[in-house]
Amino acid sequence: MTAVMSRWVLWVMLAVCIKVHADERSVEFDYRRAPAWPYSLSKSGVSGWVVYNLKAHHDGKVSAPEVLDSSHPLFSLSVVNVAPIWRVKPWVVSDQRPAVISLRQEHYFVHSREGNAPVPWLHRSLRHMTCARFNKRLDDFQQNSFGLEEIDMSVFRHTFKVLARVATYRRLSDERRFALGDALADAAPEIIQRCRANPELRYKDVLPDQVRMML
């Protein structure tokens, strides 16, 4: 496992669910209006998510929203449209805090039919996800997220997020938390291979035993 991946797993299993650098943690939002829920998706009861990058500027402005992964183009458009009006708390530029800081963010659109809470909804979705759907998500990710590794795709990120929640609920030791994260990260190539070969299976069925038992 690479050093970058080890750090990422470490943060996730501590319930911080995106890659975080020191600069990112120093940025605080001052104004952040929620993205509008696309009417057609809300009316249909469709939930979803968007993973995206932003540029935060020392004068408080936010720019360059870039969608990395998303469950629906309309959710992506909603985030991209609202992000430029967001503001962060200004800071003094220094050697430790550059003028522009890149942020990776996630937004979840969880319908009231799903209980409004992102992680329980993700948990249910992962339990019922087929390999055919996983393969479609992977294809979309590979097409739209150039330069990122497969472990960064939404399904794996959501699995890490759910594992972190379950590990906290079960009061697992840090050692067991990290072991779960390592097991999932190490098994990612095999998970992809098995789902490609067996689209009729469930995603849960191709996970390592210790991870599957947590879902």
* Domain extent for 123: 3-212
Q: For residue 23, which amino acid is it?
A: D
Burial class (CB in 10 A: 0-12, 13-18, 19+), 110: middle
Query: What average pLDDT does the segment 146-169 reach?
Result: 88
DSSP line for 24-61 = HHT--EEE-PPPPPPHHHHHHT--EEEEEEEEEETTSB
CATH number at residue 104: 3.30.2420.10
Q: Taking all residues of the chain, what is their mean pLDDT, rounded to a whole number?
A: 86
Q: How many domains does the chain have?
A: 1
d(CA 160, CA 181): 7
pLDDT digits (tens, 9 = 90+) for 18-58: 344 556 668 999 999 999 999 999 999 999 999 899 999 99
Question: What is the band of 139 on the pLDDT scale with cuts at 50, 70, 90?
Answer: very high
